[in-house]
Amino acid sequence: MSGWRRLQVKFRTAGLLTWTRVTQPHTGRGGCLTFCQSLSTGGPLRNDFFKDLEAQLAAMRKKAADALPGSSWSPFEFNPDLPPERADVVIVGGGVMGWSIAYWLKKKENKSAGMKVIVVERDPTYSQASTVLSAGGIRQQFSLPENIHLSLHSADFLRNINDHLGVVNEDPIDLQFNHSGYLFLASEAVAHIMEENYSTQRSAGAKVSLMSPTQVKERFPWINTENVALASYGLENEGWFDPWTLLNAFKRKAISMGVIQCCGEVTGFSDTTNVLMNRDGEEVHLKRIKSVKVQMPNSMEFQPVECAIVVNAAGAFSGKLAEMLGIGLGPKDSIAGLPVPVEPRKRREGLGGNYITGVSPEETEEPDTSNLEVDHQFFEDKVWPKLANRAPVFENLKVTSAWAGFYDYNTFDQNGIIGNHPLITNMYFATGFSGHGLQHSPAVGRGVAELILDGEFQTLDLSDFSFRRILVQEPMLERNIV
Amino acid sequence: MFALCVHRCYQRSARLLVARRQKSSGPVSSPLLSRLLRFLTQHFYDVEMFLNWRSQQGRNRLQKKNVFYAYTHTLYGPDIASAHYILCLGGGFRFVGHSDWFRANKRGKFSWDFLNHKDTPLEEVDLSHTVTNYSGLFNLEHQHHLRTLKLQGCPEVDDWFLAKLHVLQDSLEELDISHCPLITTGGLATLKNLKRLKHLNVSSLPRLQNPGLVIILLEEMLPHCQIIADGYGHRLRPADKVCVEEERVQGQQQ
């Protein structure tokens, strides 16, 4: 009887397991104690058999699912974190500017899945990124009309952010926007600049009001209006919000539209050079990027991504990225010798109670940018005296925390660089905003997407921010830098 | 064909898995229809496109209701344009110097008698329970004699709307924004611009986290204004009453 049972079992298991190895020998188990010794202390034969059966059936189901189309099985082993081998646009830098450009590119494409866009970010924790370390303020009080228009359009975008970046069936976006205007105080010496800025701002459509010292005192009784000749206060579309929420909103919407996110560092480019002759008979070397070398974090593995267009939105590190292509390394007097004038500058913010303060250091007193350490003595020497002078209640205050972040500081004229480089045909820059990148990111993203897809700016004319002003050395200075 | 469909489904769900990562946990049992719709959206492009189209239609309808009445503005003047806008939305208003209100009835029909009062500014406006929003406020921008604005229970009034109220800063004396679901503390800070505000009603704002503190700060910010803030459940707890009793007894004993 037991022999017959054994035979039956063997037949059944043999029938089901034709393509897998039998892992356990079934002889000498359970029933057949008379012929061979059993050393197992397991349960009766039938229990083991059913457990094996279940495991084998699960393995069968997995194999069948892998064999159907749509599964990710492939006979070759590969690293799933690598970016794809080919893409249309590679955006270097996963801050708010990079993701804004990715979103607008996908929004403007005519066909769904018409373009393959990859965003490459080397630090998924964003520990040194300017976006997340920024205070998140938005203001319209600039001196250049282009900057004012950028702020107004971005405020418009932020007001309707759920219409733009809302994803079906997901939570609505809450930016925690605090509406409170920026108050600028001017002494006698610079009051005329403030008046000129006021007229520019009004004609561009910003809602700003000029106030005399008495009106300031009426409205904000805690301010000491000594030495103040004129003040300008933003009535609308100014305030601060959470930059991390904005970044995640852009990211979520862009990914739902098909943008591919890649964690890695761009360590090199492969390009071809066309040598042409210009009118003066000089040779001009025009480069065209063929592929971007993306290296995986903490590993020697890299993937060359063939691409048509590269967008440099690397923020404080854009200068270094451009150097990989040889910009800035040519002979001194040529175009190739002009580096991209963007470098990281450290800005410290201190948090005391519910107030955030900061002071821009003078040109000669720039802090060391090799790390993001905070210099507390700076607060004692520079910030606190001015704060206590202007608002006497701040004489007794306690600093609860402080942090430092990088500005992608444009050493040339502290305004953004938008557009492509004259010597590299397919690299577009969107960097160097020196502290107002976050507040301009929606409008700049739209501008860059228009430049790439339509060839020219459609909604806002940002051609003044192109490389041309750096080549001819005509700085476009912004007089209201904070 | 089927294989293609299945392939697309798998690609789609993989992509949305990433997008879904940041989703916070919602209520445990949402209605069956919304759960079904969510399942279908995540597996079929067509359903997602249809739902996107439907929400876009809703937004277009809202935008049409709040458009700037430029035609009426040029032909009849800013006051009649504001009046027309208010009546079309289902609200009511009162002219300066008159005591009767002009309102639309429940069906949305209104009489055209207000056309007889040309160039009379509005003094009181009641837009409670209407879909007025930021863009609609452009129709009320030129009302420099507006004293009362009632916005009780308006679903589209948010912080940006409150920030834009600065255009009425010289005349507005009474504001009622109770029961508006989109208002947060960020917008309440802008009420500082309204210099003449005397009565403010901020009852039952669901998004205020610490209503007691916010009301105290508002009272400090607007010293000449009387603030009404009901509906937050602020009352003396029984424990406080007991403490008061104990103190009284101790006082008597001493």
For A388, the token pair is: 């206590």
Digit-coded pLDDT (tens) for A147-174: 999 999 999 999 999 999 998 878 889 9
User: B186 and A176: CB-CB below 8 Å?
Assistant: yes
Residue in A closest to B9 by C-alpha: A70
Q: Tell me the pLDDT band of B239, cut-offs 50, 70 and 90.
A: low
B210 against B201, higher pLDDT:
B201
Judge contact between A182 and A234, C-beta under 8 A.
yes
Q: Are residues B170 and B193 in the same domain?
A: yes
Same domain, B127 and B214: yes
The CA distance from B5 to B158, in Å, is: 42
pLDDT digits (tens, 9 = 90+) for A334-392: 666 677 777 777 666 544 335 566 666 655 556 666 666 666 776 677 777 777 777 77
CA A253 to mean position of chain CA atoms:
14
The alpha carbons of chain A give a radius of gyration, in whole angstroms, of: 31
How confident is residue B19, by pLDDT bands cut at 50, 70 and 90? very low
Do both B118 and B228 map to the same domain? yes
Distance from CA of B102 to the nearest CA of A (A): 31
Tallying the residues shown for chain B, one arrives at: 254
Q: What digits encode the pLDDT tens for the residues A142-154?
A: 989 999 999 999 9
Residue B233 placed within a domain = yes
Residue B24: CB atoms within 10 Å: 6
The pLDDT value recorded for residue A19 is 45
Does a structural domain hold residue B70?
Answer: no
- B20 or A425, higher pLDDT: A425
* Helix (H/G/I), strand (E/B), else coil: A420: strand
Q: Any chain B CB within 8 A of the CB of A77?
A: no
Spatial distance between the Cα atoms of A31 and B228, rounded to a whole number of angstroms: 87
Residues 113-152 on A with a CB inside 8 Å of B are none
Work out the minimum CA distance from B41 to partner chain A, whole angstroms: 8
- Residues in chain B with CB shorter than 8 Å from the CB of A70 are 3, 6-7, 9-11
The number of domains in chain B is 2
Complete edge-to-edge strand list for the sheet that includes strand B199-201? B101-103, B92-95, B122-126, B148-150, B174-176, B199-201, B226-228
> What's the pLDDT band for A129 if we cut at 50, 70, 90?
confident
Q: How is chain A split among helix, strand and coil, in percent rounded to 5? A: 35, 20, 45
- pLDDT classification of A264: cutoffs 50, 70, 90: very high
pLDDT for res B14: 47
Strands (E), chain B: 92-95, 101-103, 122-126, 148-150, 174-176, 199-201, 226-228
Closest CA to A325 of A275, A296, A288: A288
Mean pLDDT of B29-35: 81
Residue labelled with tokens 């967008």: A311
The structure tokens listed for B52 are 């996107």
Instruction: Mark which of B40, B64, B88 sits at the end of a domain.
Output: B64
Judge if B53 and B84 occupy the same domain: no
Alpha carbon B73 to its chain centroid, in Å, reads 25
- B89 in a domain, yes or no? yes
**Claim to verify: residue B55 and residue B132 sit in the same structural domain:** no
Please state, in angstroms and rounded to a whole number, the distance separating the CA atoms of residues A295 and A100.
23
A171 with B23: Cβ contact below 8 A: yes
ipTM of the complex: 0.79
- pLDDT, residue B247, reads 62
Mean pLDDT of A103-132: 90
Nearest CA distance, B161 vs chain A (angstrom): 10
Measured CA to CA in angstroms, residue A318 lies from A286, A369, B166 at distances of 20, 15, 41
Residues comprising chain A, all counted: 482
Residue A88 has pLDDT above 80, yes or no: yes
**Range(s) of the domain holding residue B226:** 78-253
Nearest alpha-carbon partner for A166 in A257, A33, A71, A42? A257
For A181, nearest residue in chain B (alpha carbons): B190
Nearest chain B CA: its distance from A330 CA (Å): 44
Asked if A398 and A352 touch (Cβ cutoff 8 Å), the reply is yes
A350's tokens: 């201190």
Same domain as B60, residue B82: no
Please give the DSSP secondary-structure letter assigned to residue B132.
-
Query: pLDDT, tens digit, for every residue of B57-79?
Result: 999 999 999 999 999 999 999 99
User: Out of A159, A236, A256, whose CB is closest to B166?
Assistant: A236
Q: Which residues pair with A343 in a beta bridge?
A: A409
What residue in A sits closest to B24 (Cα-Cα)? A171
A433/A445 Cα distance (integer angstroms)? 13
Residue of B9, B52, B186 with shortest CB distance to A168 = B52
Q: How confident is the model at residue B11 (pLDDT cuts 50, 70, 90)?
A: low
Whether A69 has its CB under 8 Å from any CB of chain B: the answer is yes
Rounded to an integer, what distance in angstroms lies between the CA atom of residue B41 and that of residue A21?
Answer: 42
Q: Taking residues A230-253, report their average pLDDT.
A: 92
Whether residue A250 has pLDDT greater than 90: yes
Specify the CATH number for the domain of residue B217.
3.80.10.10
Last residue of a domain, one of B17, B38, B64: B64
**Percentage of residues in chain B with pLDDT exceeding 70?**
81
CB distance from A422 to chain B under 8 Å? no
Does any domain span residue B72? no
Q: In terms of pLDDT, which residue wins out, B252 or A266?
A: A266
Q: Which residues contact A332 (CB under 8 A, 6 or more apart)?
A: none
B193–A170: do the CB atoms touch at under 8 Å? Answer: no
The answer to whether residues B48 and B138 belong to one domain is no
Q: Judge whether B69 lies within some domain.
A: no
* Claim to verify: residue B122 and residue B40 sit in the same structural domain: no
pLDDT, position B24: 44
User: Which residue among B11, B40, B64 closes a domain?
Assistant: B64
Query: B20 and A176 in contact by Cβ < 8 A?
Result: no
Whether B88 and B25 share a structural domain: no
Interval A99-123 mean pLDDT: 91
Q: Residue A283: what pLDDT?
A: 85
| Cβ density class B56-80: b for 16+ within 10 Å, e for less | eeeeeebeebbeebeebbeebebbb
A252 token code pair? 């979520």
Residues from chain B contacting residue A237 (CB–CB below 8 Å): 163
Supply the pLDDT for residue A465: 92
Residue A14 confidence (pLDDT): 45
Interchain pair A255, B20: CB under 8 A: no
Q: Which residues contact A44 (CB under 8 A, 6 or more apart)?
A: A30
Mean pLDDT of A73-96: 89
Tokens of B25: 């946990």
- The phi-psi region of residue A187 (left if phi > 0; otherwise alpha if psi is between -120 and 50; otherwise beta) is beta
Paired tokens of A182: 């920026």
CA distance A296 to A81: 8
For A156, residues 6+ apart whose C-beta sits below 8 A from its C-beta are: none
Task: Lowest mean pLDDT of A102-111, A316-325, A343-352, name the range.
Answer: A343-352
Cα–Cα distance for residue pair B67/B135, rounded to 1 Å: 7
Other CB atoms within a 10 A radius of the CB of residue A122 amount to 21
φ/ψ of residue A203, rounded to 5: -70, -25
Q: Which one has a higher pLDDT value, A204 or B27?
A: A204
- Over its C-alpha atoms, chain B yields an Rg (Å, rounded) of 25
Q: Are residues B21 and B102 in the same domain?
A: no
Average pLDDT estimate for B121-150 = 92
* Together in a domain, B227 and B147: yes
pLDDT at B18 over 60: no
Closest to A392 (Cα-Cα) out of A217, A256, A272: A217
Same structural domain, B23 and B127? no
Residues B177/B183, Cβ–Cβ less than 8 Å = yes
Q: What's the pTM value of the predicted model, to 2 decimals?
A: 0.81
